[in-house]
Structure 1
């Protein structure tokens, strides 16, 4: 079975909606609760890490639940729509702390809301990505769907990173607390509409013969026996840790380092260039490189390109170009373009590990494998946000939770520390990812094609036997 053009478009719109939600949470929760509401950065980071690790540990179970689901509406759609509605409600609560709440009450509100947000997001994210290997057994079709999904997810992420700060200032009339509440409401509504459209348009294939109901123990056994899935998972953890450290710190960098009355404009422009660059990487550069290079080669080039971009940003800062938005944007191009291609490639690699696992065990476990994608993204973001929070306190960054719009001046030592956190730590994570990938990844283009052909032959033989 193949997706029609209409279904592909709906799938892409679904990716836009869900990644708008994820980007708002991943990039602005730390800032909202630390800088706007005044909680300790280390406390916020610790709660975020604990909540995400707790939620991530439940993701494989959600994958098993989805795999066992069998309703007249399909395997994926009931969870996709139900999880979306619940997550939208919790998102609004997360950015709508009651006025006057502080201290222990604020801490409890934050912890409970964030845990619920993570659980409900998992409910819809796992079935969304599990559709890719379930809907087609053609490697090229999967790659196309991965590009569509990741490209549109990049659009959703870009919309949030580009417009949130300006929208908060405009909708809140200068009061960030009010602005974030309004932005969360708008994003939640758009999220529900996007996923409702996807659920209405999509047609699920029958997977009765491909995915047998097994025990949780058997699912986990086969998952951890899939060495290529585990290599891909570890690589995703390292790459996403680098990404989320940057995404959590970049707003502080522009507010307190670049500074000035136009810091919001500069921040918006930088993210606009970054968002466009990510989409360019996914839709233009990746397909172009794909004509000449294997996926594993492109992947390594992207890691090196991203590390180069971080090094150039640090160089721009130490040479006095931190306030030059053009210079910063040019340096950032390397990071953003590379990240756009990396998000596509990691999804393609995970899809390949589904075939690899089926060849080993005889079972297709899309939901279990792709639950690991949600698992590792949350694990990476949890680790990154804890490092971010701890780092902000260690460098002595003072929060800016006043209501009159005055920006707190930071010391030179704090600014230097902020620059180092934002560049050196991501480079270390990406370097480790490169080493792990080079030493352990075996699913080259040639090997993936061999596995796909072998599985087709096996299924054809089973059909003849029946």
Structure 2
């Protein structure tokens, strides 16, 4: 039964809008800003993204530990939402001011500002997602809440992906650097307002734990390693997210240079964003028609369909807007389903870890979600930078035939390989395909990892 009020869901969704505005401008456009506006090399930017996000990913469990150890009259989550929003806002402005820095200091400036941006975003992202299992223990409520959060996130991604570059052009004219700078100010204003709305109106439900000791670094490692279903979830989601971040980051180069039409990127992002919204919306409804154990397989099929359509666009002389839109729809429909399902799966993993180890640690376990997003972003950014360098990519000029052909092959092959890996890990190692059954005893899944169905 869904026991959350509309006010709570709406306020939580407002937080999702704010956080994803701050995230989307970086995730979608920062690499383009660095390479085509600031003038940094693609290889350096790819290496920077890898180093910064990979390092930042491993600070997530530490932030989870800090949140789980926090005890205030406002709860353990809400204070960090405000602190994180304010700090991250400052670093977002700093990050999108790189075009103002002299060239001799640019590499150092970009490195420091981007690393610090990632760390400050961790401060908000961990408590944001960790509150999902903390405000309700009802599975129906969680699934309903996740739809609100993911719908808000998808709407932001769709809108900003389609119009972010146009906004920068509108505000900056020929000076895209100034355009991105002004856009970041607008994002920050909305970001802070939304986070205050969430912090005021969304409150956790106190949970009596079997153990009340404070967590330390060793506890973080033990909680992760001892939870075999969490380890399996890490593998299957990491492969999936790597595919998503690669396509998401590579698309602007592919459509602009390989297909020679930057307008295709806007079409792809608008339709893919709408498809993600639809996927999130359909998730709880499809879960009633299609068992949860089959949902991940379905989510993995859609990106493969996207790659197949992009393969066709590679071999036709003039791909139609309908083909581009179809590829975008297939791409993000799967993402919408995967995002909804993976968040619910993480909540199941929290319950499973409590049943197995006697300790409930929402923030530490949910920090894995952001750790996976950042790790996959790191690998995706590194792959894009290295591939563009290997293909002899040169910004703002027509590319050679070899470069174009390489781009066309890459955007098809890599996502398919990663989807196969994700599917195999889910099939072989993840056992709670129908959710965690709180009635299970030690002789069942808790001790053996035996695959069972929820009642």
**TM-score, normalization: structure 1?**
0.91
How far apart are 1:100 and its partner, in Å? 5.3
Change (3 A) 1:74 1:136: same
SS at 1:290's partner residue?
helix
1:266 has 2:264 as partner: yes
Tell whether the 8 Å contact from 2:135 to 2:203 is kept in structure 1 after alignment.
Answer: no
SS at 1:71's partner residue?
coil
1:424 has 2:413 as partner: yes
Q: Structure 1, residues 405-433: CA drift from partner, whole Å, max 9, x if none?
A: xxx11112111111222221111111100
Match runs of 1:39-188 below 5 Å: 39-97=40-98, 99=100, 101-103=102-104, 105-188=105-188
CA distance, structure 2, for counterparts of residue 235 and residue 48 of structure 1: 22
Change (3 A) 1:201 1:394: same
Tell whether the 8 Å contact from 2:307 to 2:412 is kept in structure 1 after alignment.
Answer: yes
Change (3 A) 1:359 1:208: closer
Q: Where does structure 2 lack aligned partners over 5 or more consecutive residues?
A: 443-455
CA distance, structure 1, for counterparts of residue 7 and residue 265 of structure 2: 35
Match runs of 1:312-323 below 5 Å: 312-322=309-319
CA distance, structure 1, for counterparts of residue 194 and residue 292 of structure 2: 31
1:451 is matched with which residue? Answer: 438
1:464 is matched with which residue? Answer: none
SS at 1:198's partner residue?
helix
2:276 is matched with which residue? Answer: 278
Tell whether the 8 Å contact from 1:238 to 1:432 is kept in structure 2 after alignment.
Answer: yes
How far apart are 1:98 and its partner, in Å? 5.0
Tell whether the 8 Å contact from 1:66 to 1:75 is kept in structure 2 after alignment.
Answer: yes
Match runs of 1:66-465 below 5 Å: 66-97=67-98, 99=100, 101-103=102-104, 105-209=105-209, 212=212, 213-260=214-261, 263=262, 265-283=263-281, 285-322=282-319, 324-400=320-396, 408-445=397-434, 448=436, 450-451=437-438
How far apart are 1:173 and its partner, in Å? 1.0
How far apart are 1:388 and its partner, in Å? 0.3
How far apart are 1:321 and its partner, in Å? 4.0
How far apart are 1:267 and its partner, in Å? 2.3
How far apart are 1:332 and its partner, in Å? 2.3
SS at 2:204's partner residue?
coil
CA distance, structure 2, for counterparts of residue 65 and residue 452 of structure 1: 31
Change (3 A) 1:174 1:296: farther
How far apart are 1:79 and its partner, in Å? 0.5
Tell whether the 8 Å contact from 1:16 to 1:157 is kept in structure 2 after alignment.
Answer: no
**Superposed structure 1 runs of 4+ greater than 6 Å apart:** none
**TM-score, normalization: structure 2?**
0.93
CA distance, structure 2, for counterparts of residue 429 and residue 397 of structure 1: 24
CA distance, structure 2, for counterparts of residue 211 and residue 340 of structure 1: 36
SS at 1:451's partner residue?
coil
Change (3 A) 1:211 1:327: farther
Tell whether the 8 Å contact from 2:9 to 2:148 is kept in structure 1 after alignment.
Answer: yes
Change (3 A) 1:319 1:49: same
CA distance, structure 2, for counterparts of residue 157 and residue 208 of structure 1: 37
Tell whether the 8 Å contact from 1:321 to 1:328 is kept in structure 2 after alignment.
Answer: no
Tell whether the 8 Å contact from 2:209 to 2:360 is kept in structure 1 after alignment.
Answer: no
Tell whether the 8 Å contact from 2:232 to 2:429 is kept in structure 1 after alignment.
Answer: yes
Q: How many residues align?
A: 440
Tell whether the 8 Å contact from 1:87 to 1:121 is kept in structure 2 after alignment.
Answer: yes
CA distance, structure 2, for counterparts of residue 375 and residue 35 of structure 1: 28
Say what the alpha-carbon RMSD is for the aligned residues: 1.8
SS at 2:270's partner residue?
helix
How far apart are 1:176 and its partner, in Å? 1.4
SS at 1:291's partner residue?
helix
SS at 2:73's partner residue?
coil
CA distance, structure 1, for counterparts of residue 407 and residue 36 of structure 2: 15
1:462 is matched with which residue? Answer: none
CA distance, structure 2, for counterparts of residue 321 and residue 367 of structure 1: 49
CA distance, structure 1, for counterparts of residue 87 and residue 414 of structure 2: 35
Q: Where does structure 1 lack aligned partners over 5 or more consecutive residues?
A: 401-407, 456-466
